[in-house]
Structures are given as structure tokens and as C-alpha cells.
Amino acid sequence: MSSHTRRIAVNVGAGHVPGMNAVIVGAAQAAGQLGWQMVGIRDGFDGLLYPDRYPDGGLVPLSPQLIDDLDATGAGLLGQASRVDPFHVRSVNADDLIEEVDMSDDLLARLKAAKVDAVISVVGGRGLSILYKLHRQGLQAVCVPRSIENEIAATAVSFGFNSALSFTIEMLDRVRQAARAARRIGVVEVLGAQAGWLALQAGIAVGADAVLIPEIPCDLTTVAAKLKEKVTPQRPYGLVVVAEGATFIADPHAQAKPSSLKASLSPLATGEASDHVIERSGQAADTVANRLQLLLAHEVYPLVLGPWVRGGAPTAVDRQLGIAYGAGAVRALSEGQNGVMVAFTPPSLAFVPLADAINKVRTVPTDSMFMQIASSLGICLGRAS
Amino acid sequence: MSTPINPAAPTGTVLNIQRYCSHDGPGIRTTVFLKGCSLRCKWCGNPESIAPKPELSYDARKCTGKKACGLCLKPPFPDGAFYVVDGDDDKVKVNWHLATACDQAMASLCPTGALEMFGKTMTADEVLNEVEKDESFYRNTHGGLTLSGGECLLQPDFSAALLKGAHERGFNTAIETAGNVPWRFMEQVLPHVDTVLHDHKLTSTERHKKWVGVGNERILANFKKAYETFPDIDFIARTPLIPGVNADEEHIRAVLAFIRPYKNVIDYELLPYHRFGLGKYQSLGVVYELDDYKTPSADLLAHLQAIIDEAFGRTPEATTGT
């Protein structure tokens, strides 16, 4: 395919991560070296599906000058759509009725009409499955893995994880200071519906007393016993980090649920104040805090970092990784790869079939180095005794 | 008394037939839920009714796992549609993006019923034969057939045939509708209806669009026209009450102002939001957008109900405070 690929499109799936522009810069610069044209699709696939919405065009020519001037720490060049699924596009029919229609064939035809030879998609989770489905339908596609949770299989680190980790650590440090000053136990919920990487690595970094992750069903009586040991008159505070997907064995009714759409229903979603406040997210933190409150003499309070760790500037690691992933995706195409995901397998980049990346979750192995470190530091992981 | 099936009778997609219902119109009723809806309410309690066609559902509790079964991990099931993750959990998981090609024939291969289809194509006669089974209950209680959904008016030929057939059998008929359909659908079906239970979800057009997916202009125009065109039908307005969305006095008063000029709107009912639909969302692989919403408090309900009672000139019911 290398000799034919002359025009590549790049797009970004739903869900913000810091520094998305870095991937675009990496891909565009690498494509430029090969003399290829690069365009960006606005808002997922919306730029192609709804070109009328974009007075300046749904496709953004990524010229060398634009790329040269682009702030690689930014994330807003192409934008994102809240729903990126051409197989289920919500539309209105001739009778003015809502329906979900399959526009995948339409999308492929529009890519062809725009003379796009291949698409580089910066996606994770659901976006990976959708890209795989499009690939099976004929799309030449390369995926750049993007995830805050770092749960995408076959790659050691997904783009976006390191920035989220850094910000989570910064916020946990603040919570820890506040808990110390207030002489309370803070329970902080962090992202991680399926995998506990963010909670565990951040918890280790800040010296949390307990870290509760989806991989280990948690016994809160064990956590309470540990806190009784650690929270003393000389050290009258504590910090518990809980991943949003943590599960609890002591009380099946207290099991927290993954909440993947909580981010889309921001606290401002209703747009107006009301006496009847809508509760969102924070179920894991609430569950832990409420149970510990009953088991401990100290005051326990829940906090939710949640989706806003997705904002801010990228870390140096993510900037490098983003540029490397973007350039790696172009290299994959130049080598004739198709239907692959660029994976970071230290010390190099590899190209993994999309089929090997979907339907798997990269969880924290129970014998992993991070688990061992946590145990050696005396961090309680909530294992039933 | 069974009626022979007429192959030429209209067919429709039926989600479920529920017998012995007592809240979907007068008396004891059989409620037929039709598939397909023209709204996308974020609090929807029947997510399986939204898509117009039959669709796959998965109940992990019934799955015996890869070692004991694993049938769905092989052809003819679509590649990648079902999978098992590494670890202790042997149960199959569904990739909903790749499972869309699964049909009834595939679902029926699942020996434990973990996979099944929501929705079935039926003729009007098949449905009416089922409805007829409780004929004696209808006669004793003035009950009959209720069409619900989804939005039953999205299948106007089928709905009209069912309701006409029910009338011919002497059954009372009712429909539950949100009214977001072309007027011609309503005009086709309403002549066969005794009672219309209809929703007034939000007053503000903009907020209606945000929470329900479309504006409410056509809905209000349809109901107004229906009140005027069909004076002999009993209309009962309803509002599913969701705190933070529409559970407020302003909305209730606005609905009352809309319906009270019409004598044939005989009541206005409040339906407190519940979370019964949550498990169904998980079965369908659909994300529930109102995961954490509260149900309305008893005090709030009593307050809003008192406003309605006053508007209808009724003495408020004594509250027990429990």
C-alpha cells in the first residue's frame, strides 16, 4: 500500500485526553516526510457525515505551516463528538421521527470521494471496536490507543494515561494535606471502571493508606482494620484511593457500578438550579466512605476526581508518546500495515492487529510489580483476610 | 374462542404481551407492548422498546461460561461478538458493536437462554388470540386491550387492526402514547380507541429536546387536535416525574393549563420515576444516562398531587405520612 497512500485522514474518538494535538503533529510531520497529504476529520466522523455543519469544511488540511504553528500541548484542533459510531447515527427521518441509522457505507463512500486512502484514529474502548468493524468493511485503518485508564490490551501505555496519572497524583497530594489539616479520612474516587492502574500507581506515589481497585474484590472490614492501625492520635488522618469500578465483597448491595456516561452528564446538564439535586458519579467513594464511617471513630468524607482529570496540559511523557504514536501510525501505513494498532512495547513500537486489541482488558495482574510495591509499602489493597 | 390466523392480516413487532394489568386503563387489561419509539428519554424504563426491530439481549446470570458451554464463541456467531477475558471470570461478555448481526436463529442456540431476542413479529390475529384468553376478566371489570410501547402509534396499521379487532370482540381499548408521530398516524388509530393515556413530559421546548431528544411542538399540536377531533375519547394526561428534570410545580401547572379547557381530558396522573429499567440497560449493552437520579420524595409527590386535585375540583386524599 505504501506507494499508493498519498492522502491520510486523522480523527479523534469521544472522550477528552490532554495534548491530543501531539498525535496529529507526529502523524502530519511523518506524513510530510513521505510527501503525503494529511487531513483531519472534525469531531470524530462528523466532519464527513455532516459537512453542512462546518462552514470551513469538515476536513481540515493539515498543511506543514499549520502543523508548524500548532501547539502540541493543545487538544482542540479537530474537536470531538460525543458519539462516534457511524453504525448507529441518530438522525431524523422524513416524518421527523428520531431513528438510528447505519451510515457506515456512506462514510466509506465519502472518504473515497475525498480521496482519503487510510484513516488514523485516536481511539480507545468502544472506538476500537467501531474502527475494527469499519476496517472489516473495507476501511484502511490504523489505531492510536488513547485511554485514561490504560486498560487497552497489547500496549504498555495508552496515550493520555500519564497525564491523567500526573494530575491525579497532584490532586491526591492536595487531598492528603487537607485531610491532615482537618484530621479526617479522605476517600477519593479516581477513574478506572475496569482497571486499577490509575488508582494503584497514584496511590503508591502519594502514600495512600489503602487503594481499592476492580481487580481485587474489596473487604471493607479489612480496610477499616488497617486504618485503625494507621490513623492514630499522632497521625490523625488517612487517605483511601478507590477506583470507580471497585467491587466490594462484604455487602453485595454496596457494589459500585461502572459509570461510563457520567462524564457526559456534567453537573451542569440540567442548566438550572433545583431543590431536587441530581446525584452523579462518586458511587464508589460514597460506598467506601459510608461503610468506613460506620466502622471507624474518625470522620470520613468522599471526594470524586472523576472525569476532570482529563483536562489540562499533557505531561512530557504523553507529548513524546503522542508524537511517537502519530509518527508510528504513518510508519505502519508506509510499511503496508492495515487494520493494526500502534502499541508501545518497550523499548519499541509494534503494530498489533486490531482483532488482538479488542475484547480484552489490560487489568493489573495480581502478581504485578505495582501490587508488590504497594504491599511492601504497607498499602492496604482490601484483600479479605 | 380462537380466531383463525389470517396470513394477510397486518403484522407488527411486539415486544411483550402482559396480562392482568390494572394501571393501563379501566379494569383488568392485557397490555401489548409494541417495539419502536420516536423519543429518546434519558430516563426510559423500557430501553428494549426503543429500536423498531427485534434485538439481542444478554443476561450474564444465565451464562454458564466458556468451559461449560462456549457455544457463542464459535461460528455461526459473528467473529469477536462474544469473548472471555483473562482471569477467574469464565462468563462470556458481549461486544455490542460486533454483536449487531445476531438474530433469533443464533440467539436460540444459547442453551441457557442467556441470549434472547427482545421483540417478535406477530400478526394482529395472533395477538388478538392471546388477548382473548382473558375475555371473562374484561367483561367483569370493563377492561380490555391496551397498546403501549415504545410508541404504539409508530405501527399505525398494526395498532388500528388490533384495536379494531378488540372493539369487534367487545373489549375496551386504550393506548399509551407520547404523541410524537405524524398526525395521520393518530388520525388512523384514534377512531378505535376508548381511552388515551398520553404523556406531557416537559413544558419547555428546549428542555424537552435536551431530555427527550426532540422538541414538543408537534406533540402539543397533536394532543390539542386530538382533544378537539375526538370528543368522545377519554384522555388521561400523565407525567413521568423526574426530580431535577420536570418534578416541579411550574411544569404541573403548565400541563393543567393546557388540558383543563378540554372536558374530555378526565385526569392527570403523576408517574414517579423509578429505576426498574437499569437492569435492562445492562442486558442490552446500552448505557443508562440517568444512572444516579433520585426518585421523587413522598412530600413532593403529595404537593404536586394536591395541585392537580385542586385543578380537577377534587378533595385531596388524606396522606398517611408513611
Does residue A255 belong to the interface with chain B, where contact is any CB pair within 8 Å? no
Q: How far is CA A369 from CA A44, A148, A204, A375, in A?
A: 37, 20, 12, 10
With an 8 Å Cβ cutoff, are B87 and A281 in contact? no
Shared domain check, B185 and B268: yes
Shared domain check, B87 and B41: no
> Last residue of a domain, which of B117, B146, B167?
B117
Closest residue in A to B92 (Cα) is A359
Shared domain check, B221 and B150: yes
Does residue A366 belong to the interface with chain B, where contact is any CB pair within 8 Å? no
With an 8 Å Cβ cutoff, are A98 and B83 in contact? no
Nearest chain B CA: its distance from A125 CA (Å)? 10
Shared domain check, B260 and B219: yes
Nearest chain B CA: its distance from A196 CA (Å)? 15
Provide the residue range defining the domain that includes B260. 11-52+120-311
Note the pLDDT tens digit of each residue in A211-246: 999 999 999 999 999 999 999 999 999 999 999 889
For residue A307, pLDDT over 80 is answered with no
Query: Cβ contacts (< 8 Å) between A271 and chain B: which residues?
Result: 207, 210
Q: How far apart are CA B260 and CA B252, in angstroms?
A: 12
Residue B265 located in a structural domain: yes
Residue B3 located in a structural domain: no
Which residue in A100, A265, A359 is closest to B83 by CB distance? Answer: A359
3-state secondary structure string, chain B?
A: CCCCCCCCCCEEEEEEEEEEECCCCCCCEEEEEECCCCCCCCCCCCHHHCCCCCEEEECHHHCCCCCCCCHHHCCCCCCCCEECCCCCCCCCEECCCCCCCCCHHHHCCCCCCCEEEECEEEEHHHHHHHHHCCHHHHHHHCCEEEEECCCHHHCHHHHHHHHHHHHHCCCEEEEEECCCCCHHHHHHHHHHCCEEEEECCCCCHHHHHHHHCCCCHHHHHHHHHHHHHCCCCEEEEEEEECCCCCCCHHHHHHHHHHHCCCCCEEEEEEEECCCCCHHHHHHHCCCCCCCCCCCCCHHHHHHHHHHHHHHCCCCCCCCCCC
Shared domain check, B91 and B107: yes
Of B60 and A23, the structure prediction assigns the larger pLDDT to A23
Residue B224 located in a structural domain: yes
Note the pLDDT tens digit of each residue in A131-174: 999 999 999 999 999 999 999 999 999 999 999 999 999 999 99
Query: Cβ contacts (< 8 Å) between B287 and chain A: which residues?
Result: 260-261
Q: Would strands B115-118 and B55-58 be described as parallel, antiparallel, or unpaired? A: antiparallel
For residue B319, pLDDT over 70 is answered with no
Residue B299 located in a structural domain: yes
For residue B80, pLDDT over 70 is answered with yes
Note the pLDDT tens digit of each residue in B176-192: 999 999 999 999 999 99
Note the pLDDT tens digit of each residue in A200-216: 999 999 999 999 999 99
Residue B1 located in a structural domain: no
Does residue B275 belong to the interface with chain A, where contact is any CB pair within 8 Å? no
Which residues neighbour A261 within 8 Å (Cβ) at sequence distance 6 or greater? B287, B288, B289, B291
Shared domain check, B224 and B155: yes
Does residue B61 belong to the interface with chain A, where contact is any CB pair within 8 Å? no
With an 8 Å Cβ cutoff, are A90 and B180 in contact? no
Number of domains in chain B: 2
Of A20 and B292, the structure prediction assigns the larger pLDDT to A20
Q: What is the ipTM of this complex?
A: 0.74
Shared domain check, B68 and B164: no
Q: How confident is the model at residue A281 (pLDDT cuts 50, 70, 90)?
A: low
Does residue B81 belong to the interface with chain A, where contact is any CB pair within 8 Å? no
Closest residue in A to B300 (Cα) is A276
Shared domain check, B233 and B160: yes
Shared domain check, B157 and B78: no
With an 8 Å Cβ cutoff, are B243 and A279 in contact? no
Shared domain check, B60 and B149: no
Chain B stretch 170-189, residues whose beta carbon is closer than 8 A to a beta carbon of chain A: 180-182
For chain A, which domains are there? 7-160+314-346 (3.40.50.450), 164-311+366-376 (3.40.50.460)
For residue B275, pLDDT over 70 is answered with no
Shared domain check, B131 and B24: yes
Query: Cβ contacts (< 8 Å) between A133 and chain B: which residues?
Result: 97-98
Residue B319 located in a structural domain: no
CATH number for the domain spanning B140: value is 3.20.20.70
Shared domain check, B190 and B90: no
Residue A19: per-residue pLDDT? 85
**pTM (2 decimals)?**
0.82
With an 8 Å Cβ cutoff, are A280 and B291 in contact? yes
Handedness of CA B83, B88, B90, B92 (dihedral sign): negative
Residue B298 located in a structural domain: yes
Which residues neighbour B143 within 8 Å (Cβ) at sequence distance 6 or greater? B25, B26, B27, B28, B29, B134, B137, B171, B172
